[in-house]
Structure 1
Amino acid sequence: MPQTMDLTVVDPRTGDLVTRIPITDSATCAEAVARARAAAPGWARTPAADRAAALAKAAESVRAAADELAALNERETGKLRDDAIGGVEAGVGTLVQYAELGPLHRGRSLHGAWAATDLMIPEPRGVVAVLTPWNDPVAVAAGLLGAALVTGNTVVHKPSERCPQTGRRFAELLAEQLPDGVLEIVDGDGTVGAYLVADDVDVVSHVGSSATGNAISRVCAERGAKTVLENGGNDALIVDAGVDPRWAAEQAALGAFANAGQICVSVERIFVHESVSDAFLTELVTQARDWADRIGPMVDRRQRAVVQSHVDDAVANGARLLIGGATPEGPGSFYPPTVLADCTPDMAVLRDETFGPVAPVRVCPDFAAALRAAADDRYGLAATVLTPDMAHAQEAWRALPVGTVKINDVFGGAPGGASQPRRASGNGFGFGPELLDEMTAVKVVHWSAPPTS
C-alpha cells in the first residue's frame, strides 16, 4: 500500500493550523483519469446547450456559496475578504460567460465542389488536466474549468496545495451539476501534478511557475499532449517624462502592493525617466507608507523568505532601501510594502519574479532607454506604460515583447480580451473566448456524393 501523506495549511495571519488533507497517491490519480476518460464520449455527445445549462447552474451554486468560498480563501491564503469575494464574483461571471459562449462556438463551411460538403468542425480534445494557482483560486479555475467543460471535455482538476479546501469546494460545486466522471478532483502538491501530466490526458492547462511550466512542456512534448500555460511574469512599469509623479506613484503602488504583490500581472520592475525620478520616488515612499495598513499577509513564510532574499540581494549589491525591507516579528507571514532605488539588472529583484510587495526602481536617462530595459527580460506576460506622449505610447505597445500592454492604467481592460503570454511566461490563450479554441481541435470533413450507376 502506498504511504499516505498530508498537505498542511496554516493561516498566514496567525500561523494557526487551518487543515490537513491527504495527498492523492499515484494509483488514485490514475483512477481519476480513467473515470474522466470513460466519461468523455458521453459528455462529448451531450448537446452543447445542455452542457451550457449545467455550467450555468453551477455558476448559481458558486454564487450562493460566495461567503463560504471567500472565508476559506481568506484563511488559507490570507487574501482580504473583499478581494476574495471579488474573486468569487469574477469566477461566477466567467462561468456565465462560457455558458453563453459555449453553444455559439462554431466551425466553418468551405467552398468545395457542388456535389460535396466541406466542413471545419471543432471537437473536444478529450481529458484535460487543470492545475490552478493559489493567488486567485476561484477566478482562475472558473475560466479553465468552464471552457474545458462547456466544449465537451472531461477534466481532472488539481487545485493548489496552498488552498486545497478553497479549490476543492469550488470544483465540487461544479461537479454536483455534472454527470459522474466529467469533473474529477485530486489533492496534492507538485508530485500529484506530475502524476497527471504523465498520465493519459490530452491537454494540460497550468497556471503557475515557469519552472513547472517548462517541466510540463517537456513531458507533454514527448507524449503529444497539448499545453496551455500561463507561467511566471516579471512585468515592467515605465514612468515617462511629463507625467504627474503622484499619479504615477499611485499606479506603481497599486501594481506592486495589491494582494501583497501576489498577482500574476503585478508590477515587478519600474523604470522611471530621470526628469521625474526624485519626485516619483518621494511619492512612492508615501504610497508605501499608506499601503502598510491595507495589505494582508503573504501566502506563507516560504514565499516571504523568497521576497526577503531578493531584497537582501539588492541591498547587498548597492540598492538603496527607502522603506520596508525587513521581515516583521510576530505570527503569520506579513511583509511590509518595500521600495528600492538604484536597482540594476543583475539584481534578483529585477532579474527574477519576486511575487511580493516590493517596488524596485531603476532610473533611466530617457524613454528609449527605459523601453529597452523593460523589453530586456526572459518573461513576456504584461507591461504598463505611463506617458502623456502619444508617439511613445505607440512605440511602446509595438516594441514590448509581452502578451498585454497597458497604457496609463496599471490594471484594467475591456471584457472579452485575451492575450498570449510570450517566452518564459507560457503559451496559448488562457482566458477569453479564444480559450474555447484552445480546448478544442478542428477536424476537416469532406463529404462527397457516391458515384451514380
Structure 2
Amino acid sequence: MTTTAVTATEASSPPVTFESLSPISGDVVGTHPVHTADDVASAVERARVEAEWWGALTFDERAKHLRTWKAVMTRRINQLAELMHAETGKPRGDALLEIALGIDHLAWASGNAGKHLKRRRVASGLLMANQAAHLEYRPLGVVGVIGPWNYPVFTPLGSISYALAAGNAVVFKPSEYTPGVGEWMARMFLEAVGRPVLSVVTGYGETGAALCRAGVDKLAFTGSTATGKRVMAACAESLTPVVIEAGGKDAVIIDDDADLAAAADATLWGACANAGQTCAGVERVYVHERVYDDFLAQLTAKARDLRAEDSEDTKIGPITMPAQLDVIRTHIDDALARGGRAVVGGADAVGERYVQPTVLVDVPEDSLAVTEETFGPTVTVTKVASMAEAIERTNASRYALGSTVFAKKNAQEIAAQLRCGMTAINGVITFAAIPSLPFGGVGESGFGRIHGADGLREFTYAKATARQRFKPMMALTTFDRTEKADQQLVKIMSLLHGRGSTLPKR
C-alpha cells in the first residue's frame, strides 16, 4: 500500500519532496512530499467527509475499529521501532517503550470515550425542577495535529487517539524530522479501518501553517513555545481553537528525608533519557542542604558511567535536530562563564552529533541553563536551605509543565505548592504514562490538556439540552408573569439561598 492512500498527494505531476535523514549517519531514511497549502486544504476537505461517517458511529463501533488499529500496530511494533530509530536515532529499546506507552493510551481512549462523553442526565436544581437536563460531548469534526520529532509516536497519539475516540477525523502533520513514522501510523490505520479517517500531510513549517489555516475545527500542537505562539497567531485568523503543549524546564525537588539513591537514579534518567530531548524532562534540581553533598556524589557517580555514542547498546542516542547542538553548547558555556562548574561533562561534552551527560553546579539562577529550555542531556543541581526556597525557585520559571518531588514526610504538601500541570512524587515523568491523568502545562508551557477524560473532552463541544417534563408551578419566563409570582420567587430564593450569610440585613 502506498502513502498516497493516506496523504494529501493527488496531483498528476510529481510533488516537491524532501528527505528525512538519520541523525546517526546522515544517510537518507526516506523521501516525502512537501504538501502545499492547496494540498492541505484538500486533505481537510476529504477528512470532513470521513468525519461524517466516523462521527455517526457509536462509541462501541469506533472502539472496535480503534482496537483493530491498536492490534495491527502492536503486532508490528518492532517494525515501527526500527523506523523510529532510523529517523530519530533513539535506542531501539527506548523506541519500543515509547510505542508501548502510546498504544496503552490508545487502548484507554477507545475504551473510555463513551463513559466520559455519552449523553447523560444532570441535576436541574430546585428552581428548574420541571426540566429534564442532559449533557453530552459531541465531536468537533476535523482535528489538525502538529506533532514533534522527539517522541513521534507517543506524543501525537496523545492527541490523535483521543480525538479519534471522541468521533473526529484527524489530519496529522508530523515533524519534518520524522515524517516516515507519521505516514506509517496512518497506513496501519487505513489497513485496519479501511477508510482514511486519519490522514497525513508532510513538509516543513509552511505545511504546518497551512494546516492552521485550512479550516480544521481544532488544532493540537506540540513543540517549542516560540513556534506555539506562531501557531496560535495563525489559528487566530479564523478563531480556530488550539491546544498548545509547549516547552518545559521541569525541576526535581529533593527533601532531606528523601531516598537519595532513587532520587539520583530518577534524576539522571529524567535528564538524559532520549538524549534529554523531553519536554517534561529534568533540567533543574533543588536539593536540601543537609543531603546536597550525598545526593550530588551519587548522581555524579552514576552520570560518569553513562555515555552517548554510536553503538548498538548505547543508552543515549544522538541529538536529532542538529541546530539544538548550538543551543546546548551555549547554555553550558554561559553557565561556566558565570561561575558554574561542571562536575560531569562540560564544555567539551557537545560533539558533532552526540552530547555527553553534563551535571552543572553553582549555576546562577538567571543563567540560560536555568531559565531557558536546553533540550539536551544536561542538568543543574542547586543547594537550598529549605523546601520553601526550593518551591520558590521552581515556581520562578516562566515554564510550568511538570515537576518531581522526592520526599517522605512532606511530599504531598510540597507538590501541592508547585505551579505546574503535573507532579510526580518519588518517581519521574510517571504522570505521562497514566492514561487517565490529563497532561499539559500552564504559563509558557501552554494550555489545554491531552490524555484522560479532559483529553477526550478537549476534542469535543458540550451540548446541553433542557426538556420541560411538566408545566412549572410558577410562570416566570413569560410577559404574563404576575407580581404574586415575583413575591413567590423571592420567598423561594430566601429559603434556598438566604441562610448562612454573615452580611447584615439592609
Give the structure-1-normalised TM-score: 0.92
Aligned counterpart, 1:405: 423
Tell me if structure 1 keeps the 8 A contact 2:259–2:407. Answer: no
Cα displacement string for residues 311-369 of structure 1 (whole angstroms, at most 9, x for unaligned residues): 11111221112221345697x61110001111112211100111110011222222221
Match of 1:20 in 2: 31
Structure 2: distance between partners of 1:41 and 1:294: 45
How far off its partner does 1:41 sit? 2.2
Aligned-residue sequence identity (percent) comes to 35
Say if 1:72 and 1:166, in contact at 8 Å, map to a contact too.
yes
Q: Partners in 2 of 1:247 and 1:177 — Cα distance?
A: 42
Distance in 2 separating the partners of 1:143 and 1:126: 18
Asked if 1 retains the 8 angstrom alpha-carbon contact of 2:402 and 2:429, the reply is no
Considering only aligned residues, what root-mean-square deviation do their CA atoms show, in Å?
2.4
Counterpart of 1:440 (choices 433, 457, 460) is 460
Residue type at the aligned position of 1:430: I
Given candidates 374, 378, 384, the residue that maps to 2:394 is 374
Using the TM superposition, give the Cα deviation of residue 66 of structure 1 relative to its aligned residue in structure 2, in angstroms: 0.7
CA drift at 1:449: 7.9
Paired residue for 2:378, among 351, 358, 368?
358
- Pair 1:280 & 2:291 matched: no
Alignment-derived partner of residue 47 in structure 1: 58
- SS at the partner of 1:223? coil
| Residue 361 (structure 2) pairs with residue 341 (structure 1) | yes
Q: Which moved more, 1:98-107 or 1:151-160?
A: 98-107
- Tell me the residue number matched to 1:261: 276
Identify if the C-alpha distance between structure 1 residues 19 and 69 changes in structure 2 by more than 3 Å, giving closer, same or farther.
same
Does 1:312 pair with 2:333? yes
In the TM superposition, residue 245 of structure 1 has moved relative to its aligned partner by 4.2
2:446 is the counterpart of 1:426: yes
1:37 and 2:58 are equivalent in the alignment: no
Q: 1:406 to 1:110 in 2, by over 3 A?
A: closer
Q: Give the whole-Å Cα distance in 1 for the aligned partners of 2:287 and 2:378.
A: 16
Q: How far 1:291 moved relative to its partner?
A: 1.8
Q: Does the C-alpha gap of structure 1 residues 115 and 366 become closer, same or farther in structure 2, counting only changes over 3 Å?
A: closer
Do the aligned partners of 1:257 and 1:291 also contact (CA within 8 Å) in 2? no
Number of the residue aligned with 1:103 = 114
Distance change in 2, residues 1:110/1:370 (3 Å): closer
The Cα of 1:14 is off from its aligned counterpart by: 2.1
Alpha-carbon offset, residue 47 of structure 1: 2.2
- For 1:362 and 1:283, the matched residues in 2 are separated by 15
Task: Quickly say closer, same or farther: Cα 1:447–1:58, change in 2 above 3 A.
Answer: same
> Which of 56, 66, 91 is 1:80 aligned to?
91
Q: Report the counterpart of residue 182 of structure 1 in structure 2.
A: 197
Measure how far apart 1:116 and its partner are: 5.7
Structure 2 counterparts to residues 376-391 of structure 1, below 5 A: 376-390=396-410
Contact 1:238–1:270 (8 Å) recurs in 2 = yes
- Equivalent-residue separation in structure 2 for 1:214 and 1:329 (angstroms): 29
Q: What letter corresponds to residue 305 of structure 2 in structure 1?
A: D
Cα shift readout 1:219-241 (whole Å, capped 9, x = no counterpart): 33442222122111100111222
Q: Are the structure 2 counterparts of residues 316 and 97 from structure 1 closer, same or farther at C-alpha, using a change threshold of 3 Å?
A: same
Query: Equivalent residue of 1:20, what SS?
Result: strand
Partner of 2:322: 301
Contact 2:77-2:96 at 8 Å conserved across structures: yes
SS at match of 2:305: helix
CA contact (8 A) 1:344 1:362 kept: no
Cα deviation for residue 195 of structure 1 reads 0.5
| Cα distance between partner residues in 2 of 1:263 and 1:342 | 24
Query: Which SS does the other structure have where 2:274 is aligned?
Result: helix
**Normalized against structure 2, the TM-score is what?**
0.83
Distance in structure 2 (CA, Å) of the matches to 1:115 and 1:347 = 63
Q: Is the 8 A contact 1:229 1:430 kept in 2?
A: no
Name which of structure 1's ranges 211-220 and 102-111 shifts more when overlaid on structure 2. Answer: 102-111
Instruction: Evaluate the alpha carbon distance shift between residue 52 and residue 388 of structure 1 in structure 2; reply closer, same or farther with a 3 A threshold.
Output: closer
User: Secondary structure of 2:98's match?
Assistant: helix
* Counterpart among 49, 53, 56 of residue 67 in structure 2: 56
Tell me which amino acid in the other structure corresponds to 1:298. Answer: I
CA distance in 2, matches of 1:222, 1:424: 21
Asked if the contact 1:59/1:92 (under 8 Å) is kept, the reply is: yes
Cα 1:443–1:242, aligned 2, differ >3 Å: closer, same or farther?
A: closer
Moved more, 343-352 or 118-127: 118-127
- 2:100 counterpart of 1:89: yes
Superposition deviation, residue 5 in structure 1: 4.4
Contact 1:4 1:25 in 2 (8 A): no
CA contact (8 A) 1:234 1:381 kept: yes
Instruction: Report the Cα distance in structure 2 between the residues aligned to 1:407 and 1:181, rounded to whole angstroms.
Output: 41
1:372-430: CA deviation from partner (whole Å, max 9, x where unpaired): 1111011111111222332xx23321211001112222232455222441111111121
Work out the CA distance in 2 between the residues paired with 1:329 and 1:402: 30
| Preserved contact between residue 94 and residue 146 of structure 1 (Cα < 8 Å) | yes
C-alpha distance 420-9 of structure 1, shift in aligned 2 (>3 A): closer
Matched AA of 1:307: I
2:329 partner amino acid: Q
1:12 and 1:19 map into 2 onto residues whose CA distance is 13
Give 5+ residue unaligned stretches, structure 2.
Answer: 1-10, 308-313, 472-506
* Compared CA separation, residues 362 and 439, structure 1 to 2 (3 A): same
Cα distance in 1 between the residues matched to 2:470 and 2:18: 61
1:268 partner SS: strand
Residue identity opposite 2:245 in structure 1: E
Map 1:199-278; keep pairs closer than 5 Å. Answer: 199-278=214-293
Runs of 4+, deviation exceeding 6 Å? none
Distance 1:5 1:281, change over 3 A: farther
Tell which structure's C-alpha radius of gyration is larger: 2
Q: How far apart in 1 are the matches of 2:394 and 2:90?
A: 29
